[in-house]
Each structure stands twice: as structure tokens, then as C-alpha cells.
Structure 1
Amino acid sequence: MNNHYDDDTWTALDVDEPSWSDHLPDSPAALTSPRHTGRTPAEVDAYDGEALNWGDFLTQDLSQVNWTAGRLMEHGQQVALVGAGKVGKSLFTLEWAACMASGRAFLDDEPRDPIRVLYVDMENGRRDIQRRIHALGFRSTDLGNLAYLSFPPIGPLDTRQGAAAFAARVLHHNPQVVVLDTISRFIQGKENDSDTWLDLYRHTHRGLKAREIGCIRLDHFGKDTERGSRGSSAKTQDIDHVWELTSSGGDKFRLSRTHTRTGMGEGEINLLRAGRPGERGTTRHEVTFEDPEKAKWLVASGLADKLDEIGVPPHFGRDRAKAEAQKHGITSSNEVWAEALKIRKQRS
């Protein structure tokens, strides 16, 4: 993946060029070669270098699906997570981002290599952020790859000035994924105006895509939830996937993919939000299945992974393992503990 930046800001992409017609020669005969446009040799080489080299390009193996944690998006993709207010979009996304940054397994996915994540938050106060991190059980040593900006002094991202300030921070933190929470806080144009989203793409998302930096932007439903996120339909034109997070009652939720550019991966996921208010390390999002045994195994497998992470020896019995786990804020039911210890014995 190319994460090398050779410019100070990607606003250079938006520099106003003369009209293409200004480069045309006076004589139509001169149009027989695109090089006959008054360009210098250096300019010709530069423009030639922008075009795909078909000989090299068509021999590259680009078939591999390179997922981020949770298999909700591939590296470099742009994703919208839409939901009603207070459904828990920020909590879900914070766990997702922290798992990407720490290399922990997310949902029913396998652990993956840690990646750099930049979370830009214009929605949540610092007390809420701290409470959620504690509830999710992450420690400072887990979050070295997660750069979190709380209300940074940047302007709207659908403007040149705001995008430049944003770009400077992206270039500084060098992430592979950026989170924007919540997208309505990052624009100055009206949500129902298609020009707002076209400007957002031109000033911000185009630079991210050109550098293969993934983006997760949180969004709200409109008045009619059946119609998806509020605002202009142009909002989803530059997005690879749109995920909708809805409540199924109580601590159960559904994650549904309503728009997709690739069709890869699951299109609907049932979730359980586990956790006990005030207890550190008990909050997490788990995939649920109609098969209760499979669901229990997945939860137990996740507990076994956590025991491995904190260095609990595989030969420890339940009481000793629980005592060590509680030091790190990790708890679960006796039934899950029994299954997790069984899994650890099978692994060893």
C-alpha cells in the first residue's frame, strides 16, 4: 500500500488549471499527436508518467481482498456508517478503530496486523471518549497507532482552507484509515445541496482516495429512515459502502449494507452489544447467530484471544485465569469461561 506523501498538502490537486482549450494549437493538423500542445519535454514526461503503464499494470495481482478489521471495508475504501441519534455509532466505531490500531480481532474476524488510524471527532466530549475507552478495555499501551483529535481547529472539509488544515494533519499522522465523526460537523454547505458533497469530494475525499487512505464517516438518518442518511443523494456517490446501524431492541442491533461498489463480504450482520455500565473492559460488539452454540463459541474464542494477549498461561484453571483477567478488566459468564479454557487447551 502506498502511504508515501511527497507534497506538503494535497490542495495542490485543486490548483486552478487554465481551460483545456487554452492548450490547443491553432492548426488542427497539430492535433495528430498529444505531445504537440506546446508542452516542454519535462511536462510531456510528467504527463506521460500519470498514465497507467498497461504492460506493468495488467500483470499485477490485484485480486486479493485486503480487509481491515471486521471485514466491513477493504484498505483504501471510503465507507459511511449511518444510524439514528444515540444508537451508538461512535461507540461502535471507536471499538472498530481501536481494534484496527491494536491488531485485536473485531466482530467475528481474525486478528489482523495493526495499522495507523486517525480519529477526528467533532461530536463527543473528552469525558465520553475516556469512559468509552475504559469500557472497551483498551489501555494506553494498546493505542499507540490511534491518533485521536478532539475538536481540532480545522475548518469545513468542503472548503479549500478547511481541507488544507485537515490534509496537514493527515500527512503528519500518516494513517491508513481516517474516521470523521460526525460528517455533518465537517461541512459548511447545506446537506440537501449536492454541491456540498461534490465540494467535499473535490477538496477532501479525492486526496484520501489518491493516497489509498481509507475513510469511515459517521452520519445520521433523515426523517424517513427508509430513505437512508439525510441530505442529498450525491452524498453516497463517492462512497464504496454504506452501512446502516439500527436497533433490534434492547442490546441487539443490526448492521446492514445498503450500498456497495464491490459486493464483497457480508451484507447483513446481527450484533449484540455486551457490557455492564461502569465496569471496565466489559463492553464489546459481538456477532450473533441463530445457532446459539456457534454464538457461544465465538464469544469464548474472543475471551481466549484476550487471555493470550495478556499472557495468562494456558494451563491455568478457571479461578486463576479469572483472577488474572480481572486485573485487566476482563470478565465473562462461567459458561463462556468453561468454553474459553477448553479452546485454549485445544490450541496448546
Structure 2
Amino acid sequence: MTTSYYPAGPLPDDGAGPQGPDIARTESGLYVPAQPVRPDPETMSSEEYLAACVAQMRAELLDTDGLDKIPPLEPLLGDLLQLNTTARFIGPSGTFKSFLILDMAGHIGTGMQWHGHYVRQGTVVYLVAEGEQGIRKRVRAWEQHHGVRMDNVAFLPRPVQAKSPEWTVFTELARQLEPVFVVIDTQARVSVGVEENSNKEMGEVVDRMDDLRRATGACIGLVHHTGHQGEHGRGASAVKGAMQSEVTITKKGEHVESITLTVKSSKQKDEEQGRDLLFGLKRISLDGEYKPDGRPVTSLVVESLDAMPERPPEPGTPEWIVRELDKAQVPYGWGRDRVKAKCQELGIKAATAKIEEAVRIRKARGKNLPADLPPAESDEPAPAQGAGQTEIPDQTCPAGSEGRSGQGAANLPAPSLSLGRGQVGHTGHTCTACGLPLDAEWAELGHDRHVTC
């Protein structure tokens, strides 16, 4: 016997229309089959099978009242991650992505707040598809730093290929463990042989991740690298489109003590992206563990910088040179040559380009200066011959009382860079020694005094 199904629509006001046990009416007046017949191609004709499939899909339709039955996204970690979603963590190689994600996993497993952000405690499954030999000491460093065991985090220290039959095994294992967070570190190591730039092939990989998500209800976190240029994840663009969230991690600085990691929510489908988060690194010497030469075994942990005082600049950078010059109370108006000489005096070894950048930074600060820093003008006494004398065209130094010929070396005028171009037009730059105007082009080259001063 074939069950008849009718198009969804409002029931007539007089109550006429399809009736019977197969019909249900929603609050908004639409009627749908109450119990659709399960499609069975073995026992149904092709017409009956199609009708049953349509009825089954019709039963899945929701009106505006039915939308309230869809559960909202549940936060897993702050505003970055939600349950039952797929997320991706991207960044250039060497930006300590795995350290950050292991830190997230540890906080989720133990239920501790993640640097002041909400955490939903639960089991974490961490697929260590690369770098498995280093994971132990990273975990030990985290435990030693926080003073707790990294409980409720299970590690599988080998890759499982997403397009292999073994992925079904991994998915079933994860389903049984009921995790809230599954980390795949990295995307490239579980998709070996897949054309990374192919939207079709990578779409199949994303489908496998969705199978894992549907089976567990967890947040599936993929770790991936960006390309050599740009801030986008390497490979097919369709992968980002399928993600609920994408988190970008960048690094500034070279030495552990001065490295700053920036965590940016670069995509959130249904949530506000939020502000960037800043982290630093701390080196941990593992208790009781030593290398063959007696040095301690070390690893790194991440620390939030958002609630910490500003870190000092890295030695050798222009910002560090600025700080050292300020400490030495060097007048901020000094040009490159005098600052370079002062750096040598202070034992600061730096390339000319970095010194020039430090000079630009100091001059650009304007009014934002340390209260005890000397003014731009030098407090050294000016040479006597520079007082109260007049300037001669094409001359960047005052003329002596004896004229321009036959003068001693101390009274020779500075060479002008604008010879043959008429009289020099001054733009406010003055010699820090004698106080008289400097040639504009001479000053633009970074000089702050006449040659003879």
C-alpha cells in the first residue's frame, strides 16, 4: 500500500484537507507527515521510493518556530573555539603554533581558565602527526610550570591519513572517548598524497573532518602552515570557507626572551572576532633531566602578555638603541654622525641603518619624551666665530671677518650641496653647534651640523 503525502501549506480554515495518522500540524499551521515511511528501494517501486525520500526530507524542514529547536553553539575556549565545529590554526613555520595549541589542550583537559578566558572542561584527543619525539618534554614543561598533571589529554603519536580506511577507525575511537577537542597536528601530515591546491581533493579531506566532528560533537582543530608570502593558509581556498573559525598566529622577535606571539581570530562565522591576544615564551629547565654534557633539558611554555608589563626591546634593535641613548641622556635632536660616535663611546655595536632608524624614532617622538631628557639643541658651547655673523649665499657656514679667501682651516665654509642651483632655501634646520641655518639637502642626509662645526 502506498502512503500519500501532500505539499506543505496552511490547512484550510474549515478544517478540510488531508487527515489521518500520517499528518501532523505545526504551530504555524503547516502540515507534514508525522511518521514518514522509511525509503526502501528493495520493496518500493521507483515512484514510491522517490515519494518516500521527498517525505523524509520534508520532515526535516523547519518553520520559524522550529528554528528554536536548533541548539546554539556552545563555547569551548573563550571566543575562539566552539563545540561541534571545525577550526584551523594557521601561521608561518616557526611561530610556535603547536606550543599554543598544546597549552589550550592542557587547560581544556584540566578545566583551568585559559589565561583569563572561559574553558569548557572535557577530554582532548591530540593526534601528533609530526614531531612526536618532542611532545613528552613539552608536556612535562607545561606540567612543571603550572604545577598540575595534564590530565584528560590523550595523545596518538603518529599520523592517520584522512583518506585511508584507518580514518574510520580513528573516528570510531574518538567517538568512544567523547572528547570536546580533537587536535590534528598537522593538516599536511594527515593528507599525504592529496593535491593541496585542489579544492576538490581538499574538499574530500574536509568531509573526513566533518565525519569526525559529527561523530564526536567536538571542536576539530587543524594545525596548518601559511605560504611563503601572505597571511592565508597554504593551499586550496575552499578549506577556509568550510571552517567555523580560523586563528592566525604570528611571531615578532628572534630570541626567546623577546619573542611576542600574536593570536588573531581571523575568521568567526557566527561570533565577533574579538581583539588580538599577545603571548610570550618562557624557557623551562626540566627537573632532574640533563643532557650528556651536564646541561639541563629545556622546553618552552607560553605566557600571556596582556596582563604583564611591557617587555624590554631586544638588544641590537633600533628600539633598544633608543632606550640606551635615552638612558645616557643623549639630546634627541642629534643626527646620525653624532649618535653613531656616541654609540661607539657607549659600547653599542649596531649597523648604520639601525642607528639611522633610532635617530628617526627619537626625532619623531615629538612631545612624547622622557621628562629628564635634554632638548634637541646641544648644550655644548658654540664656536666663537659663529656668533652674530651673516650668511653668504651658497654657504652653509658663517663667513669669517677676513673674507672667504686666505682663511684658516677653522674658518673655511662648509661645501654646499646646491652649488649651481642658486641661493639655498632653508627649511628650519639649524646647526646644533653654531645655531645657524643648515642647507636643506645636507640636513635631509641626516647631518645636524656644518662640516667645520
- Alignment CA distance shift 1:59-1:218 (3 Å): closer
CA distance in 2, matches of 1:23, 1:260: 46
2:57 is the counterpart of 1:57? no
2:241 is the counterpart of 1:234? no
Greater Rg by CA: 2
Number of the residue aligned with 2:200: 195
CA distance in 1, matches of 2:77, 2:300: 17
Pick which of 262-271 and 249-258 moved more: 262-271
Which AA in structure 1 matches 2:248? E
The answer to whether the 8 A contact 1:117-1:147 is kept is yes
Which AA in structure 1 matches 2:222? R
Selected match of 1:109 from 117, 141, 148: 117
Once the two structures are superposed, the pairs formed by residues 287-298 of structure 1 within 5 Å of their partners are: 287-289=304-306, 294-295=307-308
- Alignment CA distance shift 1:276-1:203 (3 Å): closer
Number of the residue aligned with 1:173: 177
Number of the residue aligned with 2:218: 213
CA distance in 2, matches of 1:113, 1:135: 23
Query: CA offset at residue 135 of structure 1?
Result: 1.1
What SS does the aligned partner of 1:218 have?
strand
The one-character-per-residue Cα deviations of 1:90-139 (angstroms, maximum 9, x if unpaired) are 111111111101101212314x442111111111123x111111111269
CA distance in 2, matches of 1:284, 1:36: 59
The answer to whether the 8 A contact 1:179-1:215 is kept is yes
What SS does the aligned partner of 2:156 have?
strand
Query: CA offset at residue 267 of structure 1?
Result: 4.1
What SS does the aligned partner of 2:88 have?
strand
The one-character-per-residue Cα deviations of 1:137-160 (angstroms, maximum 9, x if unpaired) are 2699733421110005x3x21x25
Number of the residue aligned with 1:37: 50
The one-character-per-residue Cα deviations of 1:218-267 (angstroms, maximum 9, x if unpaired) are 0011111x141111111212101211111121321111222221242524
Number of the residue aligned with 1:334: none
Number of the residue aligned with 2:228: 223
Which AA in structure 1 matches 2:304? V
CA distance in 2, matches of 1:237, 1:23: 40
2:135 is the counterpart of 1:133? no
2:83 is the counterpart of 1:75? yes
Identical aligned residues as a percent: 17
2:78 is the counterpart of 1:66? no
- Alignment CA distance shift 1:38-1:257 (3 Å): closer
Query: CA offset at residue 191 of structure 1?
Result: 0.8
2:285 is the counterpart of 1:268? no
CA distance in 2, matches of 1:247, 1:23: 63
- Alignment CA distance shift 1:283-1:56 (3 Å): farther
The answer to whether the 8 A contact 1:70-1:105 is kept is no
Aligned residues: 253
Query: CA offset at residue 62 of structure 1?
Result: 4.6
Which AA in structure 2 matches 1:68? L
Which AA in structure 1 matches 2:131? N
Number of the residue aligned with 2:317: none
- Alignment CA distance shift 1:55-1:244 (3 Å): closer
The answer to whether the 8 A contact 1:107-1:285 is kept is no
CA distance in 1, matches of 2:104, 2:277: 15
The one-character-per-residue Cα deviations of 1:252-307 (angstroms, maximum 9, x if unpaired) are 1111222221242524222222x224246995433334xxxx436xxxxxxxxxxx
What SS does the aligned partner of 2:285 have?
coil
Number of the residue aligned with 2:351: none
- Alignment CA distance shift 1:55-1:221 (3 Å): closer
2:246 is the counterpart of 1:246? no
What SS does the aligned partner of 1:58 have?
helix
Which AA in structure 2 matches 1:95? D
Which AA in structure 1 matches 2:224? D
- Alignment CA distance shift 1:44-1:242 (3 Å): closer
TM-score, L = length of structure 1: 0.63
Query: CA offset at residue 48 of structure 1?
Result: 6.0
- Unaligned ranges ≥5, structure 1: 1-16, 26-34, 297-348
- Alignment CA distance shift 1:150-1:56 (3 Å): farther
Query: CA offset at residue 170 of structure 1?
Result: 1.4
The answer to whether the 8 A contact 2:283-2:301 is kept is no
The answer to whether the 8 A contact 1:123-1:181 is kept is yes
Query: CA offset at residue 184 of structure 1?
Result: 0.3
What SS does the aligned partner of 1:175 have?
coil
Which AA in structure 1 matches 2:175? L
The one-character-per-residue Cα deviations of 1:57-102 (angstroms, maximum 9, x if unpaired) are 3344855x63223432112221111122222111111111111011
CA distance in 2, matches of 1:237, 1:24: 37
- Alignment CA distance shift 1:140-1:200 (3 Å): farther
The answer to whether the 8 A contact 2:110-2:152 is kept is yes
2:152 is the counterpart of 1:145? yes
Number of the residue aligned with 2:189: 185
The answer to whether the 8 A contact 1:101-1:143 is kept is yes
